Amino acid sequence: MCLAIPARVVRLLDDDKALIDVGGVHNEISLGLVEDVAVGDYVIVHVGYAIARLDADEADRTLALFAQMVNEHEGSSGEIH
């Protein structure tokens, strides 16, 4: 299922692209569908495109939710679908 893990923008690149960080993994994405993204912002990414910019509060709450889910599944064989 389409989990919305916030990705932090690490660097702005040419051609409306950016380098993002998700849990230490870096990826290049397009910023063509969102406006006014700056380094340090959090975005939601789908298939190589940022589709939403999150405010800091929303990003914090979402990251906390995912951290909670991971903790609850740690040590179990449960899979997060």
Partner 1 sequence: MNEALQALPLLFSICGVAQASAGMAACEQAQGIAATAAERARRSLLVAAESVQEHAGRLLLDWPGLFIDASPRIEELAVLRRSVVALRRALGGGIWQATAGGVPPDMDLGVASDQLSEIDAVLAHGIFAMSADHWLQIRDGAALREWYRRATTVAARTLRAVEDCGLAELGRSSVGVLPRITPGAFSAVLDADTADGFTARPVWNGRACETGPLARQGRRSLVAELQRRQGNGLMTRLVARLTELASLPRRMRRCLQVMHGGTGRRPVRGSGASATQSGTGLVETARGWLVHRVNLRGGIVERYRIVAPTEWNFHPDGALVHALLALPVTGAQELRRRVAMLVVALDPCVAHEVIVEPAPAEDL
Q: Interface residues with partner 1 (CB under 8 A)? A: 1-5, 16, 30, 32-33, 44-49, 51-52, 58, 61-62, 65-66, 79, 81
CB nearer to partner 1: pick between 9 and 45: 45
Locate 56 and state its tokens. Answer: 């800091």
Locate 43 and state its tokens. Answer: 């975005």
CB nearer to partner 1: pick between 33 and 39: 33
- Nearest approach in angstroms of CB 1 to partner 1 is 5
CA 77 – CA 6 distance, rounded (Å): 25
Locate 80 and state its tokens. Answer: 């997060």
CB 10 within 8 A of CB 26: yes
Residue 13 dihedral angles phi and psi, to the nearest 5°? -115, 175
Residue 36 dihedral angles phi and psi, to the nearest 5°? 55, 45
- Nearest approach in angstroms of CB 71 to partner 1 is 15
- Nearest approach in angstroms of CB 79 to partner 1 is 8
CB nearer to partner 1: pick between 10 and 16: 16
